[in-house]
């Protein structure tokens, strides 16, 4: 899924019980082997994305989507705060029919009630995922004192911890 800067989503999901692995990367574009510079300087169509591996016995896909809709603004097209551009769009890449159905239900029954403005999150089939460069992986944990982490990521983590405390690792 993609919801703005992948560092934000990665940091939150790394703290969710049942999530085994989170990888930052790129999806939804037309260029093979994209990198950070290409997606930000060229029109590749990729979004900054996280790939989440989870144990459905501990955390459901629906709960992962509720977290997603709670920690980013799904009502702003191609934007999250100061991050502007198609690469920061809100999108759920589903892997099968069941995930698509769940994504549509959570969007309509959870997100639409949580946000007063219309939801612009795309729900689209997963095609390819390209891991981001190593310096993007585990970014928050390695850079907690960086201004972006303190000003942008910390409030999302605080919101997650308050709203989903039963899911904290």
Domains of the chain: 2-167 (3.30.1060.10)
CB atoms closer than 10 angstroms to residue 96:
10
pTM for the structure as a whole? 0.95
CB atoms closer than 10 angstroms to residue 65:
21
What distance in Å separates the CA atoms of residue 30 and residue 43, rounded to the nearest whole number?
9
Of 110, 66, 65, 82, the C-alpha closest to 4 is 82
pLDDT the model gives residue 163: 96
Q: What is the pLDDT of residues 94-106, one digit of tens each?
A: 999 999 999 999 9
Is the confidence at residue 18, as pLDDT, over 90? yes
Q: What residues are labeled active site?
A: 5
What distance in Å separates the CA atoms of residue 149 and residue 89, rounded to the nearest whole number?
20
Of 96, 2, 87, the C-alpha closest to 36 is 87
Of 115, 22, 12, 112, the C-alpha closest to 68 is 12
pLDDT the model gives residue 83: 85
């Amino acid at each position: 899924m993609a919801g703005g800067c992948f560092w934000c989503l990665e940091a939150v999901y790394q703290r969710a019980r049942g999530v085994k692995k989170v990888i930052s990367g790129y999806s939804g574009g037309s260029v093979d082997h994209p990198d950070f510079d290409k997606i930000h300087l060229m029109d590749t169509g990729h979004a900054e994305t996280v790939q989440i591996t989870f144990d459905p016995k501990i955390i459901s896909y629906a709960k992962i989507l509720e977290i997603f809709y709670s920690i980013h603004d799904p009502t702003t097209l191609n934007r999250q705060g100061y991050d502007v551009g198609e690469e920061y769009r809100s999108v759920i890449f589903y892997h099968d029919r069941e995930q698509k159905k769940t994504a549509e239900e959570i969007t309509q029954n959870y997100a639409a009630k949580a946000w007063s403005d219309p939801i612009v999150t795309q729900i689209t089939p997963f095609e390819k995922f390209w891991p981001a460069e190593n310096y993007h992986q585990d970014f928050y944990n390695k850079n907690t004192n960086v201004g972006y982490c303190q000003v942008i990521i910390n409030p999302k983590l605080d919101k997650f911890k308050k709203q989903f405390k039963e899911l904290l690792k």
